Amino acid sequence: MGQVQGKVAYVTGGAAGIGAACAKTLAREGAKVMITDLDDARGEKLVAEIKAAGGEAAFRHQDVTEEAPWAELIADTEALFGRLDIMVANAGIAIFGPASTMSLADFRRQNAVNVEGVFLSARSAIPAMRRAGGGSMILISSVAGLRGSANLAGYSASKGAVRLLSKSLALELAHEGIRVNSVHPGIIITEIWEKAATRAGGGLNAPLDPQVLGAAVPIGKPSSPQEIANGVLFLASDASHHMTGAELVIDGGITAGAVRRPS
């Protein structure tokens, strides 16, 4: 307990899924947490849960692709909690479908949230982290940002961009004590994937079955949001003080190679 005691964290897309797990975990470990999301009802409910458990948190409505509100939201965080030490750039969307039929509008929307939103998260946090004397940025990418995936060309492109954005920022900011690392979750059943599969339709719904998903993971089961949050906690804490520009892969072995089950 207390791994991030006294620190202040900002979690985008924090009302559900991985973001909510990160917010609850950071709060449990002593951080004051600013949660932002488009889903006000869930965000406020999560804040209530964190406070009921003895933590400190606040919620603000945010579309991470809108540039103008960022300065005010960061200032609000500093006014409320005194500083900013941790930025978890988690907000993202997924749109399934072959590149041959994906609309340019869908491709651009995916990049607006997954790349531009992450860029704005990081850029907006820099001045506050400088005032705090350093900090840790954790940019949520994906195993899809490490390798290609059929029917996920747009998503993979956006998550690959996050990977290299993280490395470039790490080099720019290392001398200021601001660390930047990317996290690469594997297969996780969260609403972002349920929505993407429903929109895509057809056979793309089938892989969301836990048993089907588990067969594709060497460990034998999909990851959980909490398992990703545990990695985020490590990168947010002083235990990872010598890590920057790194890729933390939490995928049950997916990127290690092909699954070979005993016969």
Q: For the chain, how far is it from start to end, CA to CA, in angstroms?
A: 43
Within the chain, how many helices (H) and strands (E) appear? 9, 7
**H/E element, 54:** none
For 60, list phi and psi in degrees, rounded to 5: -135, 140
- The per-residue b/e assignment along 166-190, b for 16 or more CB within 10 angstroms, e otherwise, is bbebbeebeeeebbbbbbbbbbbbb
Give the Cα separation of 79 and 46 in Å (integer).
21
Q: How many CA atoms lie within 13 A of 137 on its CB side?
A: 35
Strands 178-185 and 8-12: unpaired
Query: 57 by DSSP, 3-state: which?
Result: strand
Catalytic residue chosen out of the listed positions 155, 231, 233, 251: 155
CA 90 to chain centre: 3
3-class SS letters over 203-248: HHHHHHCHHHHHHCCCCCCCECHHHHHHHHHHHHCHHHCCCCCCEE
Q: Is 155 a catalytic residue?
A: yes
Catalytic residues: 155
